[in-house]
């Protein structure tokens, strides 16, 4: 019975090594979708009556989508990793923490990559950057953040059964 706890902790640690990268991947996909559909108005171009706009929008999605994904993946990795390490170390499982970590990581990543695009045509404001970060942070929480901290159990152990505090005194008949 005493040897089960270290084995369970080791298994949880190994599961965290799988869930954390999957959560980050989900966060990058969610952030990329917010920017593609929000800032670049991809959906508006697809539903346009102009057939050239739909073709241009689809080509932009196919060509620019993977480039945007790679930029977001690399630009947010370091700032997001700091927040992820904090959440894993202290077992912070709040969706608010992870959403704010995503928003702050997106803003820091955007500032680090500002020299790549000096025209600022793709992102015309911080609204979509924060929106992409919030969506990414929430996606990370949904995959990996809700169970952060490998050493802290997800559910508390069941309480031992309790007997009566004071046993009743024997009665004389």
Chain segment 3-26, per-residue pLDDT in tens: 567 787 788 888 889 999 999 999
Domain of residue 103 covers 4-113+123-147
For residue 141, pLDDT beyond 60: yes
Q: What is the DSSP track for the chain? A: -TTHHHHHHHHHHHHHHHHHHHHHHHHHHHHHHHIIIIIS-HHHHHT-S-HHHHHHHHHHHHHHHHHHHHHHHHHTHHHHHHHHHHHHHHT---HHHHHHHHHHHHHHHHHHTTTT-SS--S--SHHHHHHHHHHHHHHHHHHTGGG--TTS-SSPPPPPP---SSPPPPPP-
Instruction: Let me know if residue 152 belongs to a domain.
Output: no
Instruction: Let me know if residue 161 belongs to a domain.
Output: no
Instruction: Let me know if residue 164 belongs to a domain.
Output: no
Question: By C-alpha distance, which of 134, 112, 170, 144 is closest to 30?
Answer: 134
pLDDT of residue 1: 45
Instruction: Let me know if residue 162 belongs to a domain.
Output: no
pLDDT band of 2, cuts 50, 70, 90: low
Instruction: Let me know if residue 39 belongs to a domain.
Output: yes
Q: Quick one: residue 43, left, alpha or beta (phi over 0 = left, psi -120 to 50 = alpha)?
A: alpha
Exposure of 143 in the CB half-sphere (CA atoms within 13 A): 22
Torsion of CA 157, 163, 166, 169, to 10 degrees: 180
pLDDT of residue 125: 63
Residue 163 or residue 103, greater confidence: 103
Instruction: Let me know if residue 160 belongs to a domain.
Output: no
pLDDT band of 29, cuts 50, 70, 90: very high
Residue 112 or residue 70, greater confidence: 70
- pTM recorded for the entire structure: 0.75
pLDDT of residue 19: 92
- Number of domains making up the chain: 1
pLDDT per position as a tens digit, 88-125? 888 888 999 999 999 999 999 888 877 766 655 545 56
For residue 38, pLDDT beyond 70: yes
37-51, 56-70, 137-151, range with the lowest pLDDT: 37-51
User: How high is the mean pLDDT of the chain?
Assistant: 81
């Amino acid at each position: 019975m005493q040897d089960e706890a270290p084995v369970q902790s080791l298994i949880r640690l190994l599961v965290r090594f799988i869930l954390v990268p999957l959560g980050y991947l989900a966060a990058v996909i969610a952030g990329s979708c917010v920017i593609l559909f929000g800032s670049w108005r991809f959906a508006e171009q697809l539903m346009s009556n102009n057939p050239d706009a739909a073709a241009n929008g689809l080509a932009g999605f196919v060509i620019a989508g993977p480039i945007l994904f790679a930029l977001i993946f690399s630009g947010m990795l370091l700032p997001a990793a700091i927040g992820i390490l904090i959440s894993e170390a202290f077992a912070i499982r709040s969706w608010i923490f992870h959403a704010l970590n995503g928003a702050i990581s997106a803003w820091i990543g955007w500032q680090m990559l500002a020299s790549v695009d000096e025209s600022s045509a793709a992102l015309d404001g911080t609204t979509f950057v924060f929106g992409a970060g919030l969506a990414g942070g929430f996606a990370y929480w949904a995959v990996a953040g809700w169970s952060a901290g490998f050493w802290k159990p997800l559910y508390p152990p069941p309480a031992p059964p309790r007997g009566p505090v004071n046993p009743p005194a024997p009665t004389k008949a």
